[in-house]
């Protein structure tokens, strides 16, 4: 079986009791040595791991196990499940398990789509679900989920034993590079009322960090920190207080923000920058010979263009048309702190003038490195094309991104003589 087909997943949860920070009774600790410091302790832990391995095109084996401990008492279990897809409409799963708390376990799951009309999709972004769970904690759950590119909304209601509740949650997705999301939810039921709000953000290529503040009656205030790293999940619920204290809500909200921005600026950002530089350096070393070959080919192409360019310039001068004065392609450094970086631009005046036809130059939305007489002087880095040209005897200037379409001449490129 190829290792790449094995899908591992794991979760590590560490529960932290920090109620002594806010619910401290000083009179009980007056005679206890070292009692001036709040006692923060780990009161529960949970570790689970599963491996999903396809056996055939229709059969899949799932091996999972978990260990839990809380206040000195713990337990664990191991499970093996075999799943078979019988058709496009259904599948079945047989599960065997054993543990020190529940003893031997045997389970059977069967899924079957009875008819194509057993579900209704309101539109491409909205789905409705109806679920019935039978057993000791039986319940009927119905929910409506609307998911779009910029938001995620869930409305849910459950009637069951021992918990019945209504819930509404909303998540806004920012369309930025870090995939930032902010979310909030309200849950009301027989157990009380819980309000949650939080955010999550991508901090590296494979890692997502999130924090959620939970405020409830009678649960109190908790801070939940979650880190997703590839297929692993690390979860840290921190219980701050059993009461509704404004100070606990404030510190649970502001504290993670201050720590995140400090860590992002002092640790994460420099680390990612250094990692990117290392990757670029490796890429430069591996492509050095290829770049040299491309450079030689581009120089040979420019030599062949000289006569054609001379005729084009004569024709354009005769009609006061488009003359490329200077053109540069590559990475331009604007930040003064980075002026000492090695210049990574090449002169493309001749090959660009060769593309002028009837006093016009049109470049499509593609990398300029593929144009005749061009080559990539800085592989893996952002590049631009800077052109200084003359049209009707007036100087114009424009800078275009590598994959951006360019059309010249344009009035907006004109250089103001007064400036």
- Higher-confidence residue of 110 and 201: namely 201
Q: What is the mean pLDDT of residues 278-295?
A: 83
Please, which pLDDT band fits residue 289 given cuts at 50, 70 and 90?
Answer: confident
In this structure, what DSSP letter does residue 265 have? I
* C-beta of residue 299 within 8 angstroms of C-beta of residue 333: no
For residue 45, pLDDT over 90 is answered with yes
pLDDT tens track for 72-98: 788 888 999 999 988 877 888 898 888
What contacts 417, CB < 8 A, 6 or more positions away?
none
In a domain, 210, yes or no: no
Please, which pLDDT band fits residue 324 given cuts at 50, 70 and 90?
Answer: very high
For residue 100, pLDDT over 50 is answered with yes
For residue 2, pLDDT over 70 is answered with no
Please, which pLDDT band fits residue 340 given cuts at 50, 70 and 90?
Answer: very low
What contacts 343, CB < 8 A, 6 or more positions away?
330
Which uninterrupted H or E stretch holds 147?
A: strand 139-147
For residue 115, pLDDT over 70 is answered with no
pLDDT tens track for 236-245: 999 999 888 9
Last-in-domain residue among 78, 93, 116: 116
In this structure, what DSSP letter does residue 360 have? B
pLDDT tens track for 402-414: 899 999 999 999 9
Which of the residue ranges 2-16, 68-82, 212-226 has the most confident prediction, judged by mean pLDDT?
212-226
Burial status of residue 312 (CB atoms within 10 A of its CB: 0-12, 13-18, 19 or more)? buried
Q: What is the pTM of this model?
A: 0.67
For residue 246, pLDDT over 70 is answered with yes
In a domain, 227, yes or no: no
In a domain, 265, yes or no: no
Identify the pLDDT of residue 277.
83
Identify the pLDDT of residue 354.
92
Identify the pLDDT of residue 25.
57
For residue 288, pLDDT over 90 is answered with no
In a domain, 27, yes or no: yes
Identify the pLDDT of residue 71.
81
Arithmetic mean of pLDDT over the chain:
85
* Look-up of token digits 């080559």: 375
In a domain, 255, yes or no: no
Distance CA 348, CA 302 (A): 9
Q: Structural domain tally of the chain?
A: 2
In a domain, 193, yes or no: no
Identify the pLDDT of residue 343.
61
For residue 269, pLDDT over 50 is answered with yes
Distance CA 251, CA 260 (A): 14
Identify the pLDDT of residue 329.
94
Last-in-domain residue among 116, 138, 172: 116
For residue 337, pLDDT over 80 is answered with no
Identify the pLDDT of residue 64.
92
In a domain, 4, yes or no: yes
For residue 385, pLDDT over 80 is answered with yes
For residue 23, pLDDT over 50 is answered with yes
pLDDT tens track for 296-321: 998 999 999 999 999 999 999 999 99
Q: What angle do CA 237, 240, 244 make, to 5 degrees?
A: 125
Distance CA 229, CA 153 (A): 25
Please, which pLDDT band fits residue 419 given cuts at 50, 70 and 90?
Answer: very low
For residue 294, pLDDT over 70 is answered with yes
**Domain that residue 378 falls in:** 289-413
Last-in-domain residue among 96, 116, 136: 116
């Amino acid at each position: 079986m190829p290792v790449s087909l094995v899908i591992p997943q794991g979760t590590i949860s560490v529960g932290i009791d920090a109620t002594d920070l806010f619910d401290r009774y000083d009179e009980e600790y007056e005679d206890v040595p070292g009692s001036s410091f709040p006692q923060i302790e780990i009161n529960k832990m949970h570790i689970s791991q599963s491996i999903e391995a396809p056996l055939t095109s229709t059969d899949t084996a799932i091996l999972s196990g978990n260990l839990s401990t809380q206040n000195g008492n713990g337990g664990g279990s191991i499970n093996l499940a075999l799943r078979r897809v019988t058709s496009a409409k259904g599948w079945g799963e047989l599960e065997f398990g054993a543990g020190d708390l529940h003893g031997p376990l045997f389970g059977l799951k069967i899924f079957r789509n009875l008819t194509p009309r057993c579900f209704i999709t309101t539109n491409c972004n909205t789905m409705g679900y109806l679920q019935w769970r039978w057993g000791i904690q039986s319940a009927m759950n119905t929910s409506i989920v609307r998911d779009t590119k910029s938001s995620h909304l869930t409305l849910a209601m459950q009637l069951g034993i021992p918990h019945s509740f209504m819930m509404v949650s909303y998540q806004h997705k920012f369309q930025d590079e870090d995939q930032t999301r902010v979310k909030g939810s309200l849950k009301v039921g027989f157990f009380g009322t819980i309000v949650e709000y939080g955010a999550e953000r991508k901090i590296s290529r494979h890692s997502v960090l999130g924090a959620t503040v939970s405020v409830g009656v009678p649960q109190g205030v908790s801070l939940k920190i979650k880190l997703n790293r590839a297929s692993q999940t690390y979860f840290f619920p921190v219980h701050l207080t059993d009461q509704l204290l404004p100070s606990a809500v404030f510190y649970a909200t502001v504290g993670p923000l201050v720590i995140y921005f400090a860590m992002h600026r002092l640790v994460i950002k420099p680390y990612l920058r250094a990692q990117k530089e290392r990757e670029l350096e490796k890429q430069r070393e591996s492509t050095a010979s290829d770049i040299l070959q491309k450079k030689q080919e581009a120089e040979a192409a420019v030599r062949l263009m000289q006569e054609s360019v001379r005729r084009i310039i004569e024709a354009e001068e005769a009609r006061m048309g488009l003359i490329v004065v200077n053109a540069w392609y590559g990475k331009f450094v604007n930040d003064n702190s980075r002026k000492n970086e090695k210049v990574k631009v090449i002169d493309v005046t001749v090959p660009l003038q060769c593309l002028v036809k009837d006093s016009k130059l049109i470049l499509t939305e593609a990398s300029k490195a593929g144009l005749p007489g061009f080559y990539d002087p800085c592989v893996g880095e952002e590049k631009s094309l800077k052109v200084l040209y003359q049209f009707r005897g007036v100087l114009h200037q424009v800078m275009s991104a590598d994959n951006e379409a360019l059309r010249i001449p344009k009035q907006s490129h004109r250089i103001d003589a007064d400036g």
